[in-house]
Amino acid sequence: MTELIERLRALVGAANVLTEGDLSAWEQDWRKRARGKALAVVRPGSTVEVAGVVRACAAAGVSIVPQGGNTGLVVGGVPDASGRQVVLSLQRMATVRAVDRDNLTMTVDAGCVLQSVQEAADQAGFMFPLSLAAEGSCTIGGNLATNAGGTQVLRYGNTRELCLGLEVVTAAGEVWDGLTGLRKDNTGYDLRQLFIGSEGTLGVITAATLKLYPKPAATLTAWAAVPSVAKAVELLALAQQRLAAGLTGFELMGRFALQLVDKHHPQLRVPFVQDSPYGVLLENSDSESEAHARERFEALLADAFEAGLCTDAVVAENLAQAHQLWHIRESIPLAQADEGLNVKHDISVPISRIPAFCEETDALLQREIPGVRLVNFGHLGDGNLHYNVQAPEGGDHAAFLRQYEDRVNTLVYDQVHRYNGSISAEHGIGELKVDKLPHYKSPVALALMRSVKQALDPQGILNPGRVVHG
Ligand SMILES: Cc1cc2nc3c(=O)[nH]c(=O)nc-3n(C[C@H](O)[C@H](O)[C@H](O)COP(=O)(O)OP(=O)(O)OC[C@H]3O[C@@H](n4cnc5c(N)ncnc54)[C@H](O)[C@@H]3O)c2cc1C
């Protein structure tokens, strides 16, 4: 191993091969559910260096864990406990390579933090619509590797839909330059789509060509108090009918989720927190004037009120108020963490079936664990819920997790399966769900996935034990 470390130092510089001191920023996952031990954390500064690192590790038979901002939620980007894996951090590769105004694209290094990509797009007069609560630290490479969703999927799609090209270092240490920026290219298999969502198991993404969009002329945000999940789904249908592509966000938040924000972050002043079983955050982005857009948005909410789809609503008066409403939504994961350990889910179900799914699953959970508290919130417009489960009031959170995590997971995932849903809507599989996948994915699909892994990484050096067992 000393030889490999020396080789890596020669490739990327000794200062960029970390082997000693506190490496927890790279070895521990964001949720603090997993803590590994790396042989080394290697921080290359260019694609050529990444390729060199991959070749050196492959020659030494040492596996590699690619890592961006380490905000992943499924234990996919941290090393195992063996002390024999190299963490390949893309953080130093953070240059915006080019903006092509006429092609409406920008090409960026994989280690660019999402927020800096949004800012670069903004400075060039455009918008890059991917947006999620971790945007201040997650990287575009990590977003692509997990096919991240976020709050604008309803209008702009997942990260997959926002990418027109990739540069990837393969498991053999070769560089595939697919940074074409083409919107049409049917010359065989779409390799880009193979790497997107592969969670570092098929190749190391080193750069991407991303789609840019015109900035909306007006963006309006509203918060509605909603009596039930069923009414929220009806409100979604009405909003889509009235606003069409203008509807860019539709987030559902259960009362207990909002009460947690109220308890742990009282300065955020959650609207209608005591009066309503659910809150819905709606966002309308339009190319028409603000006055026009506001009129249409307020008419939608008035009609929703008349129809009993909401019992109250408030439209943000300005950008600061809109940010505050979004901040409440984005504070739910933090408030939940402040409350204590919990069982997290990231599921999707066809939108039409969500009300029945929630009603039935809530009842089953209450029967199994009386008093259990549901932190139900998520991107209802995409059929994606973070259907999280917290210990009963006053309970010991760690003991709850030890005793119930497996039972809760099985109950929820079996329900998701019955409803033709997915056990991972946007966070991926990582290590956390790798043993669950065979129960819920068809054998044919799993066999195809294994064939792809075998073909692209026959030596099994890229992020082994994640997504699919070889
Ligand atoms: C507060 C919070 C809110 C979040 N909200 C959302 C949300 O709304 N929607 C959503 O989808 N996710 C969300 N996430 C999850 C997380 O932010 C995303 O999964 C994000 O895309 C991960 O990016 P990262 O750079 O941190 O990747 P990492 O955590 O470093 O890695 C994630 C995975 O990608 C692989 N990987 C990373 N970089 C590369 C690369 N360059 N090449 C190949 N593989 C790579 C890693 O090996 C790992 O398997 C949230 C997380 C937090 C902490």
Nearest to 279 by CA among 243, 331, 241: 331
Name the residue of 74, 146, 210 whose CB sits within 8 Å of the most ligand 1 atoms, as the mutation to test its pocket. Answer: 146
Alpha-carbon distance of 260 to 255, in angstroms, equals 9
Dihedral angle at the C-alpha atoms of 224, 129, 318, 137, nearest 10 degrees? 100
Beta strands in 333-416 (DSSP E): 347-348, 373-379, 384-390
Nearest atom, ligand 1, residue 141 CA = 41
**Both structure tokens of 127:** 């918008």
Contact yes or no for 168/205 (Cβ under 8 A): yes
- How does residue 433 score in pLDDT terms, banded at 50, 70 and 90? very high
Ligand 1, atom 23: closest residue by C-alpha = 142
Report the mean per-residue pLDDT for the chain.
Answer: 96
**205 touches ligand 1 (CB under 6 Å):** yes
Classify burial at 33, counting beta carbons within 10 Å of its beta carbon; exposed 0-12, middle 13-18, buried 19 or more.
Answer: middle
**79 touches ligand 1 (CB under 6 Å):** no
Residue labelled with tokens 């909003």: 239
| The predicted structure's pLDDT at residue 95 | 98
Distance of CA 182 to the CA centre of its chain: 25
Three-state SS string over 195-219 comes to HCCCCCCCEEEEEEEEECEECCCEE
The DSSP string of 233-284 is: HHHHHHHHHHHGGGEEEEEEEEHHHHHHHHHH-GGG--TTTTT-SEEEEEEE
**165 touches ligand 1 (CB under 6 Å):** no
**73 touches ligand 1 (CB under 6 Å):** yes
Mean pLDDT score, 18-42? 95
Residue labelled with tokens 């006429």: 102
Residue labelled with tokens 């400075």: 123
Phi, psi values for residue 343, rounded to 5°: -95, 120
**30 touches ligand 1 (CB under 6 Å):** yes
More confident residue, 388 or 290: 388
DSSP conformational letter for 466: S
Map residue 434 onto helix, strand or coil: coil
| The predicted structure's pLDDT at residue 302 | 97
- How does residue 290 score in pLDDT terms, banded at 50, 70 and 90? confident
- How does residue 163 score in pLDDT terms, banded at 50, 70 and 90? very high
| The predicted structure's pLDDT at residue 49 | 98
Check if 218-333 and 340-418 are the same fold. Answer: yes
Work out the percent of the chain whose per-residue pLDDT is above 90: 93
Task: From residue 423, give the alpha-carbon distance in Å to each of 149, 345, 414.
Answer: 15, 8, 9
Q: How many CA atoms, within 13 angstroms, populate the side-chain half-sphere of residue 13? A: 7
User: Is the pLDDT confidence value at 337 over 80?
Assistant: yes
Name the residue of 49, 63, 67 whose CB sits within 8 Å of the most ligand 1 atoms, as the mutation to test its pocket. Answer: 67
Mean pLDDT score, 453-466? 98
Characterize the bridge pairing of strands 85-89 and 64-67: parallel
Alpha-carbon distance of 278 to 333, in angstroms, equals 17
Mean pLDDT score, 413-430? 97
Mean pLDDT score, 188-198? 97
| Backbone conformation region of residue 452, classed left if phi is above 0, alpha if psi is from -120 to 50, else beta | alpha
Mean pLDDT score, 423-447? 96
pLDDT in tens, 238-285: 999 999 999 999 999 999 999 999 999 999 999 998 889 999 999 999
| The predicted structure's pLDDT at residue 288 | 78
Ligand 1: distance of its center to the CA of 274 in Å?
34
User: Is the pLDDT confidence value at 377 over 90?
Assistant: yes
Q: How many CA atoms, within 13 angstroms, populate the side-chain half-sphere of residue 172? A: 7
pLDDT in tens, 209-224: 999 999 998 899 999 9
Q: Which fold has domain 2-89?
A: 3.30.43
Contact yes or no for 222/322 (Cβ under 8 A): no
**69 touches ligand 1 (CB under 6 Å):** yes
Count CB neighbours of 349 within 10 A: 24
Ligand 1: distance of its center to the CA of 180 in Å?
24
**89 touches ligand 1 (CB under 6 Å):** no
User: Is the pLDDT confidence value at 400 over 90?
Assistant: yes
| The predicted structure's pLDDT at residue 32 | 86
Q: What angle do CA 8, 13, 18 make, to 5 degrees?
A: 70
User: Is the pLDDT confidence value at 292 over 90?
Assistant: no
Count CB neighbours of 83 within 10 A: 12
User: Is the pLDDT confidence value at 373 over 80?
Assistant: yes
Alpha-carbon distance of 84 to 464, in angstroms, equals 12
| The predicted structure's pLDDT at residue 1 | 84
User: Is the pLDDT confidence value at 83 over 90?
Assistant: yes
Secondary element (H or E) of residue 450: helix 443-456
- How does residue 291 score in pLDDT terms, banded at 50, 70 and 90? confident
Alpha-carbon distance of 162 to 117, in angstroms, equals 12
DSSP conformational letter for 223: E
Name the residue of 115, 138, 330 whose CB sits within 8 Å of the most ligand 1 atoms, as the mutation to test its pocket. Answer: 138
Mean pLDDT score, 197-219? 96
Task: From residue 321, give the alpha-carbon distance in Å to each of 265, 375, 378, 449.
Answer: 16, 24, 21, 45
pLDDT in tens, 171-189: 999 999 999 999 999 999 9
Mean pLDDT score, 331-350? 93
| The predicted structure's pLDDT at residue 286 | 83
> Sheet of 17-18: strands edge to edge?
17-18, 38-42, 85-89, 64-67
| The predicted structure's pLDDT at residue 67 | 98
Secondary element (H or E) of residue 222: strand 218-226
**Both structure tokens of 371:** 């008093």
Residue labelled with tokens 């050196």: 56
Q: Which fold has domain 218-333?
A: Alpha-Beta Plaits (3.30.70)
The yes or no reply on domain 96-214 and CATH 3.30.465.10 is: yes
User: Is the pLDDT confidence value at 287 over 90?
Assistant: no
**146 touches ligand 1 (CB under 6 Å):** yes
Amino acid at 72: G
**148 touches ligand 1 (CB under 6 Å):** yes
CATH class of the region 340-418:
alpha beta
Ligand 1, atom 53: closest residue by C-alpha = 71
Phi, psi values for residue 337, rounded to 5°: -65, -40
Work out the percent of the chain whose per-residue pLDDT is above 70: 100
Ligand 1: distance of its center to the CA of 72 in Å?
4
Domain ranges of the chain: 2-89, 96-214, 218-333, 340-418
